[in-house]
Amino acid sequence: MRKGFTLIEMLVVIVVLPFVFLLIDGLFKTFISEIPWSHRIVQENTNLLGMLAQIQQDTDVAKGLPKSFAGQTASDKILLIELAEGVICYQLKDGQVIRQKLTDTTQTEAEDERVWSIPHGNVEWKVWARNGQGYAVETNTHVEYTKRGQLKKKMAHSHLYFVGALGKEPE
């Protein structure tokens, strides 16, 4: 017997091999681009969830939601939460959410400051009020990316936190 390949075997390999390379190329592009992109979205979503958990903790023990304190006024970029120990200010600024404890003289205590980096995150909050008093905070968040010219919104969350949910005993 002769060792080697027949002409038909060689032609089949030459015809089939480019199709195999095209399939492998698609998988390779997915691993190179999609997986890191998905990882970044999950990381930002984790930061958003951490920030939301902190807002929930603060709101659960809050005394109220003041409209202004120490020169800061509540708006779509600033959320004020009054606790027994003072007022907490959440501020949206340059792709970050900054949590600071405010004092009467507008100074913040550096050890009480927390920062969540969310460069592609979108955070919106709205204070629900009745008779001029805030009683709940509604938050809407998602991560935004532009992919192939289209705006994509991923990991959307909507929460409603009531003031003093854990701090008051039922009467």
Amino acid letter at 62?
A: A
C-alpha distances in Å from residue 39, one per residue of 11, 26, 82, 101, 148: 42, 19, 36, 32, 18
Q: How many CB atoms lie within 10 A of CB 126?
A: 14
Written as one string, the DSSP assignment of 114-145 is EEEE-TTEEEEEEEEEETTEEEEEEEEEEEEE
Three-class DSSP category at 93: strand
Task: Indicate if the pLDDT at residue 107 is higher than 70.
Answer: no
Task: Indicate if the pLDDT at residue 74 is higher than 50.
Answer: yes
pLDDT at residue 100, as a whole number? 94
pLDDT at residue 36, as a whole number? 85
Task: Indicate if the pLDDT at residue 167 is higher than 60.
Answer: no
Give the global pTM: 0.76
Write down the mean pLDDT value for the chain.
Answer: 87
Three-class DSSP category at 108: strand
Across the range 140-160, mean pLDDT stands at 89
pLDDT tens-digit map of 125-136: 999 999 989 999
Task: Indicate if the pLDDT at residue 168 is higher than 80.
Answer: no
Give the pLDDT band of residue 54 (cuts 50, 70, 90): very high
Report how far Cα 18 is from the mean position of its chain's Cα atoms: 42
Across the range 50-66, mean pLDDT stands at 94
pLDDT at residue 62, as a whole number? 93
Q: Which residue has the higher pLDDT, 26 or 67?
A: 67
